Amino acid sequence: MARTETVEGPRSRAAKTQRRTRIQREKHEQILEAALDVFSRQGFRGATIDQIAESAGLSKPNLLYYFRTKEAMHRELIDRLLDTWLDPLHALNKEGDPVAEIKSYIRRKLELARDYPRESRLFANEILQGAPHIGEELEDLKALVDEKAEVIRGWSKAGKLRKCDPHHLFFAIWSTTQHYADFDAQVRAVLGDVGQGEGRFEDAARFLDQLFIHGLKP
Amino acid sequence: MARTETVEGPRSRAAKTQRRTRIQREKHEQILEAALDVFSRQGFRGATIDQIAESAGLSKPNLLYYFRTKEAMHRELIDRLLDTWLDPLHALNKEGDPVAEIKSYIRRKLELARDYPRESRLFANEILQGAPHIGEELEDLKALVDEKAEVIRGWSKAGKLRKCDPHHLFFAIWSTTQHYADFDAQVRAVLGDVGQGEGRFEDAARFLDQLFIHGLKP
DNA sequence: TGCAACCTTTACCAAACGGTCAAAAATTCT
DNA sequence: AGAATTTTTGACCGTTTGGTAAAGGTTGCA
């Protein structure tokens, strides 16, 4: 899924031989962590290298020693993201019980939204702007989705699931779960700041379970 | 809902007396149209005045004669947006048939996503970045949502709807419908470019109807 | 200890950015 | 027509931005 790894980093012997020094490994992660923070809040164009550098506790030229461009940081973040992001979909098991499988898929997606909201927003930003940096990856996504859509269709045909358009089912699951990460500001405003964090996600999980289960049981 | 109208525009006598010339009215609209285009694709920070000016067929200083800052354009767009955006929710009628009301609400929201995708993305961008420009408006939203949530709760208690958390129901409706506008790039990639536009929304409407109706019927 | 590789900093650059200003051009009003 | 007003323009400004060059400091290893 990840794009052909072009090793990013300093033009040094260690880098060229792929063997990274301790400092390189540490700073590399440190920078990506800061970059994720900034990109997910500001979007690609809105983020500045200075912001990321400051958030990472480095000077700008120092940061640019590890990542030669802003794009380089963004690209590596997106690459990493996609791998973990599609994991739950990969796990959808043709042999399992349909309703239980979908329930568990929803749960996993919701957990991702809870535990990795920055990644979710990073992705949302990218798609919102028309996915300018991930054309290639979206094709891989299509292949995976088409495959899993067939699984759903199979379950429907076997009478184990109400008949429905599998692609739109996926859209509904993605949107409802990611909503809690991407539109967090709105969710918090509407729910009020009472009953934070923990209970919120439990309520969401209960609601989505009910909605999809009753909506899908034959 | 709209914020107290501070009339934006040229510092001219006509403007001060609120009476706008023909040219002022025309250019004003022309600029907002272009600004919507650019803001919805690039986000606030990503958009540049030059881009908007070019898209509107004006020089930058000329544009700035009508809107004195970038914020001014964005603010008026957001203000207009919110009015039409919440219309469908206002229309949710306590006296109507619960299932029919919700069905019609979903349909309206989906039509908005189809007919005004740029507005949807403008809003999505704003919320994604943490709603920095619309704190005030979100409070009004909360009040409206709370009110309509009570309507839903009433229907549930009367046994006309399956018991569920009304707020999360709204989240689910918002996210699933707006998904088609906001994540259009992903939707197109997954569905392939075949079977465009028209059929797409019909399929979505059918799916969402089924999902929510069966998920909500008592 | 010395030296080669690696890391960090200071100073800098060109382009892009949001916005201003004064004056010219066009329009409207009487 | 001519004055008054509105609209448009070109030249400009200070700041921010992504990124570079080169020199100084640090580390690891023979």
Chain A residue with CA closest to B47: the answer is A45
Whether CB of A27 is under 7 Å from strand C: the answer is: yes
Write the residue in A41, A207, A214 that is nearest to B214 by C-beta: A214
Question: Of all residues in chain B, what percent carry a pLDDT higher than 70?
Answer: 90
Q: How many CB pairs under 8 A join A and B?
A: 178
- Mean pLDDT over residues A33-43, rounded? 97
Per-residue DSSP letter, A18: T
DSSP A197: H
Query: Who has greater pLDDT, A79 or A25?
Result: A79
Q: Check CB contact under 8 Å for B176 and A172.
A: yes
Kindly give, in sequence order, each residue whose CB lies less than 8 Å from that of residue B10, ignoring residues fewer than 6 positions away: B24, B65, B66
Percent of all residues in chain B with a pLDDT value above 90, rounded to a whole number = 79
Confidence of residue B5 (pLDDT cuts 50, 70, 90): very low
Mean pLDDT over residues B19-48, rounded?
91
pTM of the predicted structure, to 2 decimals: 0.92
Can you give the pLDDT at residue B25?
Answer: 84
Residue B3 is classified by DSSP as P
Instruction: Give me the residue spans of the domains in chain B.
Output: 10-79, 86-216
Which pLDDT score is estimated for A5?
Answer: 43
Ordered alpha helix ranges (H), chain A: 13-16, 22-46, 49-56, 60-66, 70-90, 98-115, 117-128, 135-157, 166-182, 184-191, 197-216
CATH topology of domain B10-79: Arc Repressor Mutant, subunit A (1.10.10)
The DSSP-derived string for chain B is -PPP----S-SSHHHHTT---HHHHHHHHHHHHHHHHHHHHHHHHH--HHHHHHHHT--HHHHHHH-SSHHHHHHHHHHHHHHHHHHHHHT--TTS-HHHHHHHHHHHHHHHHHH-HHHHHHHHHHHHTT-TT-HHHHHHHHHHHHHHHHHHHHHHHTTSS----HHHHHHHHHHHHHHHHHTHHHHHHHH-SSS-HHHHHHHHHHHHHHHHHHHH--
For residue A46, pLDDT beyond 80: yes
pLDDT of residue A197: 63
Kindly tell me if the per-residue pLDDT of A193 is higher than 80.
Answer: no
CA A5 to CA A15: how far, in whole Å?
Answer: 13
Percent of chain A with pLDDT strictly greater than 90: 78
Give the total residue count for chain B.
Answer: 218
CATH for the stretch B86-216: 1.10.357.10
How far apart, in whole angstroms, are the C-alpha atoms of residue B46 and residue B43? 5
Comparing CA positions, the residue from B44, B128, B135 lying closest to residue A183 is B128
| CA-based nearest residue in chain B for residue A143 | B190
User: Using an 8 Å Cβ cutoff, are B164 and A211 in contact?
Assistant: yes
Residues 6+ apart with CB under 8 A from B33: B56
Q: A121 to each of A117, A124, A216, how far by Cα in Å?
A: 6, 5, 28
Are A92 and A148 in contact by the 8 Å Cβ rule? The answer is yes
Per-residue pLDDT tens over the stretch B39-63:
999 999 999 999 999 999 999 999 9
Per-residue pLDDT at B4: 44
Task: Say what percent of chain A tops pLDDT 70.
Answer: 88
Is 60 exceeded by the pLDDT of residue B1?
A: no
Q: Indicate whether B13 pLDDT > 90.
A: no
pLDDT digits (tens, 9 = 90+) for B75-125: 999 999 998 999 999 999 999 999 999 999 999 999 999 999 999 999 999
ipTM: 0.91
Task: Count Cβ neighbours within 10 Å for each residue of B122-152 and write b for 16 or more, e otherwise.
Answer: bbbbbbbbebeebeebbebbbebbeebbebb
| Residue B141 reports pLDDT greater than 90 | yes
**Closest residue of A to B187, CA-based?**
A171
| Chain C nucleotides with an atom closer than 7 Å to a protein C-beta | 5-11, 16-22, 27-28
* Best B121, B153, B207 residue to mutate vs chain A (most A CBs within 10 Å): B207
Q: Looking at chain B from residue 122 to 181, which residues have their Cβ under 8 Å from any Cβ of chain A?
A: 124-125, 127-131, 138-139, 141-142, 145, 162, 164-165, 167-172, 174-176, 178-180
Closest Cα of chain A to B212: distance in Å? 7
Provide the positions of strand D that have an atom within 7 A of a protein CB: 5-11, 16-22, 28
Residue contact B214–A212, C-beta within 8 A:
no
Its sign, for the CA torsion A47, B30, A128, B119, is positive
Q: What is the CA radius of gyration of chain B?
A: 20
Q: What is the per-residue pLDDT for B175?
A: 98
